[in-house]
Amino acid sequence: MALSAQQIPRWFNSVKLSSFITATQLRKHFPRPGKTLLHGFSAQPQMSSGNYFLQWGFKTYRTSSLWNSSQSTNSSRQEIGSAQGTLLPSMNEQIQKTENIPSFDSELSLEALDDLPPVSPLQPVSEEEAVQIIADPALPPDTYTLRDYVDHSETLQKLVLLGVDLSKIEKHPDAANLLLRLDFEKDIKQILMFLKDLGIEDNQLGTYLTKNYAIFSEDLENLKTRVAYLQSKNFSKAHIAQMVRNAPFLLSFSVERLDNRLGFFQKELELSVKKTRDLVIRLPRLLTGSLEPVKENMKVYRLELGFKRNEIQHMITKVPKMLTANKRKLTETFDYVHNVMSIPHHLIVRFPQVFNTRLFKVKERHLFLTYLGRAQYDPVKPNYISLDKLVSVPDEIFCEEIAKASVQDFEKFLKTL
């Protein structure tokens, strides 16, 4: 009788890889390919002219990785011999028999295929198999520019027209994902109208959005709530617009954080409500930046430089940047002005702008005045020179009114330093 579907896998197991016929031989024996039942097998019954032997064609495949041989060569030969003995010599009878052979589709389930061992990636691949391998598409490059998307994005095109600098925005890894997901009419237009109503001019929108493109991810109602909070603290609309321009991330902070910041400066610096409001209007970055530099500088003024609390209040209200200035710059400037130029604390408090001036400029002018014999900083003596005039006026006025010399003399002196 013919091989049953249950016997076929065992018959394949008994055949060694060296006895498999190649795909080329199959094409010679099978002019018409049969139905593919499994990876690598073709179940087309063929009749040879001699003994009408039923052959099962199969393509060259790494069959040894699918079925491991579990029987000896002798048993393999017995199986093949028994299979040949069951074949009938009559063509009609043979065809009738083969019609009764169940197909792999009905006998071999997909669950059985799951039990097959995986093909090892280290097994050699034939040339014929190699040409059939389809490689995965190449991954996109890790680096890109938003400029590549401008031609395909209406949102990016309109942002460029507003003056937004995409080359600066694309440096932030999350910027591209945010902007490319936004719809200009639905997501962006309402934010632009809000900023214009707030007081941001058309020619200022590009600069603002370049710095704070993340405002498009904010809820419009939250933005309006934060503006309403500032107005409730007696910040005028003009002052709010000024603060937003100078501190672009101001409206990205919650009402709770804004309230905590205002409370911190009022309590820490012991300022009145009005002076606290004036302080943050002049330097709104105090509401958005880190508080650590502020706390550190307050300690420096009190403990290292020896200023009193009321002196600190006076200086920071006149020069708010002193709260966030570099600690090293503060100490070096104070050391030179106080210890080299012999200017006492109370005069420094009257002219705190010296802390906001480059130290080399203070040194150059002081050395030039010393060279001319005019370095006199005591207000009770004649020819008094205030720190304000020393550091704030341009070179022409400094030479003419304070040093009583020409600009050429000053430049010539600087070459000797």
Assess if residue 340 is contained within a domain.
Answer: no
Residue at 285 is within a domain = no
Long-range contacts of 48-53 (CB under 8 A, 24+ apart): 51/84, 51/87, 51/89, 52/87, 52/88, 52/89, 52/91, 52/94, 53/84, 53/87
Residue 399 lies in a domain: yes
For residue 393, CA distances in Å to 178, 316, 319, 325, 388 come to 47, 21, 17, 22, 8
Non-local (6+) Cβ contacts of 247 within 8 A are 284, 285, 287, 288
Assess if residue 320 is contained within a domain: no
The pTM assigned to this predicted structure is 0.60
Tell which residue, 386, 405, 387, 385, has the closest CA to residue 395: 405
The two structure tokens encoding residue 220: 């419009």
Structure confidence at residue 3 (pLDDT):
46
What is the model's pLDDT at position 231? 96
**Of 326, 319, 330, 316, nearest to 268 (Cα)?**
316
What integer pLDDT is reported at residue 144 of this predicted model? Answer: 57
Q: What is the domain extent for residue 402?
A: 357-416
Q: Which of 356, 317, 362 is nearest to 336 (CA)?
A: 362
Cα separation of 287 and 243, whole Å?
10
pLDDT at 180: 80
Residue owning tokens 């199969």? 58
Residue 51's H or E segment, with its range, is none
Residue 62, amino acid: R
69 CB burial (10 A radius; 0-12, 13-18, 19+): middle
Identify the H or E element spanning 42.
strand 41-42
Residue 371 lies in a domain: yes
pLDDT number for residue 211: 92
What angle is formed at CA 238 by the lines to CA 226 and CA 317, rounded to 5 degrees?
A: 90
In order, the DSSP letters of 79-123 are: HHHHHHHT--S-HHHHHHHHHTSPPHHHHS-HHHHHTSPPPPTTS
* Amino acid at the residue 253: F
pLDDT at 417: 84
Q: What proportions of the chain, in percent to the nearest 5, are helix, strand and coil?
A: 60, 0, 40
Q: How many domains does the chain have?
A: 1
Instruction: Name beta bridge partners: 36.
Output: 42
> Which residue from 158, 222, 229 is spatially nearest to 192, judged by alpha carbons?
158
Can you give the pLDDT at residue 109?
54
**Regions of the chain where pLDDT drops below 50:** 1-108, 139-140, 142-143
397 found inside a domain: yes
- 252/211 Cα distance (integer angstroms): 12
- Is residue 399 within 8 A of residue 405, CB to CB? The reply is yes
In this structure, are residues 245 and 201 in contact, taking their beta carbons and an 8 Å threshold?
Answer: no
Residue 361 lies in a domain: yes
CA dist., res. 261 & res. 280, Å (int): 10
DSSP β-bridge partners for residue 57: 42
Q: Is residue 396 part of a domain?
A: yes
Please tell me the distance from the alpha carbon of residue 397 to that of residue 388, in angstroms, as a whole number.
Answer: 13
Distance of CA 80 to the CA centre of its chain: 66
User: Could you give the C-alpha distances from 270 to 235, 305, 313, 317, in angstroms and in order?
Assistant: 20, 19, 8, 12
DSSP, collapsed to helix, strand or coil, labels residue 58 as strand
